[in-house]
Amino acid sequence: TLLNSVAKSAGAYRTGKPGHNIVMNGNFVSIHCIIPGKYKVQLPGYCKVTNLSTGKHVTSGTRRLTIDAVAGTTYWFALEIKE
């Protein structure tokens, strides 16, 4: 929460509200959910998002991804960022 607040104050890119363990590296996002419920992920640009567990495209051409977070579950997504 502290780092998220500092980043927000500085105007830095943040993936969303604090509360989950999120790793973003290049075109890959891993979200380990700690708090259940809807979670909105701010993407680094307009993206086509693929759920790597199912191989299905979750969204296309959007800047936001919403997941129905289940506590204790990890989600893996591939991003195709459109410039």
Helix, strand or coil, per DSSP, at residue 56: coil
pTM as predicted:
0.82
Position 52 scores a pLDDT of 96
Triad 17, 20, 25: Cα angle to 5° = 95
pLDDT tens track for 33-81: 999 999 999 898 899 999 999 999 998 888 999 999 999 999 999 999 8
Give residue 7's pLDDT band: very low, low, confident or very high (50, 70, 90): confident
Q: What is the pLDDT confidence band of residue 83, given thresholds at 50, 70 and 90?
A: low
* 3-class secondary-structure state, position 10: helix
pLDDT at 49: 94
